[in-house]
Amino acid sequence: MRSASKVLWITVCLALAGCGTINTVMREEGVAARELKSQKTYCQSIPWVYSGVGYNFCRLNGDPNPHAAFDGQVNFIPFIFVDSLISGVLDTALLPYTIYRQSTDGSIIIR
């Protein structure tokens, strides 16, 4: 049972380190835009409401690059789905703040 809880904590810590919500809400607006530009996403902007989930979908919506692992992660696609679940929970908790930001600032512009 202890090893399962350690794996859970490691997974949560890794997910929060690259969490879409952390990248869009807790950091500067330009940081998320620069990261998505560097990954050559096709997204033009991300709305503040559920921005963490939107950030993750934008990471998936870009030029395929079979020769490079994204962020050094071997299993990028499963990580995005786990991170999207965590981001969805955090985005829901932050809805009052993100609704306010959406109404005052508009969307996060990527291009």
Number of domains making up the chain: 1
Please provide the distance, in angstroms rounded to a whole number, between the alpha carbons at the two ends of the chain. 47
C-beta separation of 58 from 37 below 8 A: no
Give the structural domain span for 65. 2-109
Return the number of other C-beta atoms located less than 10 Å from residue 58's C-beta: 24
**70 φψ region: left (φ > 0), alpha (ψ -120 to 50), beta (else):** beta
pLDDT of residue 19: 81
pLDDT of residue 101: 94
pTM of the complete model beyond 0.95? no
pLDDT of residue 104: 95
Q: What is the pLDDT along the chain (111 residues), one digit of tens a residue?
A: 567 676 666 666 555 555 888 889 988 878 889 988 888 899 999 999 999 999 999 988 877 765 555 555 555 667 788 888 888 988 999 999 999 999 999 999 987
Q: DSSP letter string over 18-30?
A: T-HHIIIIIS-HH
